[in-house]
Homo-oligomer: A and B are copies of this chain.
Amino acid sequence: MTHLLDRLTVPIVQAPLAGGASTPALAAAVSGAGGLGFLAAGYKTADAVAGEMDALGDAVYGVNVFVPGAGPVDPEDVDRYAERLRAEGHEPGEARHDDDHWQDKLALLLERPPAVVSFTFGCPDESVVTAVREAGSEVWVTVTGAEEARLAQWAGATALVAQGVEAGGHRGSFADRGDLGLLALLALLGGPGAPLPLVAAGGIATAPTVAAVLAAGAKAAQVGTAFMRCPEAGTSEPHREALAEPGLTSLTRAFSGRRARGIENRFQREHADAPEAYPELHHLTAPIRAAGRERGDPEVLNLWAGQAHELARAIPAADLVAELAAGVP
């Protein structure tokens, strides 16, 4: 079987963009332009994902799934954070640990296999990877270092999404903590001992950067933030405005309890010491973020953004795919 990455008209993969920016319309536009669109299953029920898959019909696309973590963290850390948020005048939600409907989503994807199932926040067991592959999907695993790449390879992944520290949103790290820049990561993963194809992710927003990651050995570029101002994306208005301006990004646990890159705003700066507690903090801050979106207040939103976010433009996704593809030799 030839690899899907060898069959794409254009080596541009849309990043899954869980949390609102991802839509079936965006995935359809990217796949329609010769790239590979992605649905984000994260934070959704299996039924909601199935509905998005219905909307995509026969398109070739991928679905990204969050791999559940080990289990609940120390509840005292979470309680203290909730108390602090209340003291600051916020109305936090109920913290809880969950597996983001893991089994239901797996069952859906085994029944209706998309072209690619990609995993983030961990590497599923070999039995899961085998089942997904036997159902007819390729299995991509998001990695941020050499140990994670080894684990993914052992489990039977068909490709690796190599996520550099430049990337917006959550770090996919589950065994490495080096925060490698994308080029160093590609060099470290691209040696002769690493036969899996690489999809490069992190800060890719221009045609020359696409050309660069291909020159560095990647089979395709995964582009996220650059799509977030496209009309097809579900990005909120205050988020779109923040993306368009130059603005410092940093890694934070303030919103979800897991490190993610966002544009620094008041909430992010004031909660730099948030505990490591995912997805407890995600649920805790959900109503705060929802209220912020409602009243258009960017200072309490998770403004996920890659380091090159100010290069994102408000153009149709198909046009962006065509522009980025100009970097392909």
| Given A165-B165, A208-B216, A181:B183 Cβ within 8 A | yes
| Given A184-B306, A213-B183, A177:B248 Cβ within 8 A | yes
Q: How far is the CB of A79 from chain B (nearest CB, A)?
A: 26
A131 contacts across to B, CB distance below 8 A: none
Interface size of A by CB at 8 A reads 41
A183 contacts across to B, CB distance below 8 A: 164, 166, 181-183, 202-204, 209, 212-213
A173 within 8 A of B: no
A69 within 8 A of B: no
A246 within 8 A of B: yes
Q: How far is the CB of A312 from chain B (nearest CB, A)?
A: 11
Contact A209 B216 (CB under 8 A): yes
Within the assembled complex, what's the spacing in Å between the Cα atoms of A215 and B211? 6
Q: How far is the CB of A167 from chain B (nearest CB, A)?
A: 9
**Chain A 48-102 residues near chain B, CB threshold 8 A:** none
A33 within 8 A of B: no
Contact A187 B208 (CB under 8 A): yes
A238 within 8 A of B: no
Within the assembled complex, what's the spacing in Å between the Cα atoms of A213 and B186? 13
Within the assembled complex, what's the spacing in Å between the Cα atoms of A178 and B251? 10
Instruction: Given A166-B184, A181-B203, output 13 extra A-B contacts at Cβ < 8 Å.
Output: A177-B248, A179-B250, A183-B183, A183-B203, A184-B203, A184-B205, A186-B208, A187-B203, A187-B206, A187-B209, A187-B308, A212-B215, A212-B216
Within the assembled complex, what's the spacing in Å between the Cα atoms of A205 and B204? 21
Within the assembled complex, what's the spacing in Å between the Cα atoms of A311 and B166? 21
Contact A249 B178 (CB under 8 A): yes
A310 within 8 A of B: yes
A128 contacts across to B, CB distance below 8 A: none
A214 contacts across to B, CB distance below 8 A: 215
